[in-house]
Amino acid sequence: MRRVLVATAYTLGLPILLILIWWLASLGATSIFVPKPGPLVAEFFETWMGDRFFTDVLPSLARFAVGTALAIVLGALIGLLVGLNRGLRDFTEPVFEFFRATPPPVLIPVLGLLMGVGDDMKVTVIAVGAIWPVLLNTVEGVRAADAVQTETSRSYGIHGLNRVRYQILPSAAPQILAGVRQALPVGIILMVISEMFFSSSGLGFSIIQFQRSFAVLPMWGGILLLGLIGFAVSLLFKLVERRILRWYYGLKDLQNAS
């Protein structure tokens, strides 16, 4: 119980301190562009927890979920294939480096022309931008497989899919999930940017509309909601990661204990 309370205090301590500083700094503020915590929270619930939750928030979350899931699955599969084949890795590396260095937002106008302005384009933007951390981390994780484990697998006749399942994937899993961790905020960013360009609904569309009409409090409320979504996604990922890598964290705990 004490450990839980300490962890909670560490998690919430800095946010509470920042809110307190914000509240004190805004006590005498008269600018309409500087929101105060109380009115902002009230506007947040009024704007985003009503009809807009179904017309803007849920569609945005659906696009993010589908696009990021595609990026994770395709990145892991392609990364496994490339990481296991040295010739394929040398063949694809220049192309991968080129596309990784291309900022995904610049592809939005191109994809808008090629695919239209529907949800397919937005999901594609998210997938194209978020795939690279997963793909490249998977390649590196596969390449870093322990040579002794590889020789042991061969000596026991473990080949093909069994070797991938029982040796390669467990060995590369920490690095693959590190790539997933990097891909999640990229997916959220691209979700918002794609909706700012071509959309009639969604968080990005609503925030830019509020900004253009000088609806300051609803705009800040949208930004606050994006931060909360990012925090919730990070927390959920930590729980999933801890479950998938329970053997890995268990080994680290044993090493720290010794």
Q: How far apart are CA 219 and CA 194, in angstroms?
A: 17
- CA dist 34 to 22, 48, 205, Å? 10, 20, 22
pTM of the model: 0.84
Q: Cβ(47)–Cβ(220) under 8 Å?
A: no
Kindly report, residue by residue over 138-166, the tens digit of the pLDDT: 998 888 776 777 677 777 677 777 777 77
Domains and CATH numbers, the chain: 44-257 (1.10.3720.10)
Residues 230-250 have a mean pLDDT of 84
Residues 33-52 have a mean pLDDT of 85
Residue 254 — pLDDT band, cuts 50, 70, 90? low
Total number of residues shown for the chain: 258
- Phi-psi region at 158: left, alpha or beta (left = phi > 0; alpha = psi -120 to 50): beta
Identify residue 47 by its one-letter amino acid code.
T
Q: How far apart are CA 104 and CA 167, in angstroms?
A: 34
Cβ partners under 8 Å of residue 96, min gap 6: 132, 135, 136
How many Cβ atoms are within 10 Å of 103's Cβ, its own excluded? 8
**pLDDT > 70? residue 250:** no
Q: Which pLDDT does position 131 carry in this prediction?
A: 92
Q: Cβ(219)–Cβ(210) under 8 Å?
A: yes
Kindly report, residue by residue over 96-107, the tens digit of the pLDDT: 888 888 887 888
Residues 175-189 have a mean pLDDT of 92
Q: How far apart are CA 242 and CA 246, in angstroms?
A: 5
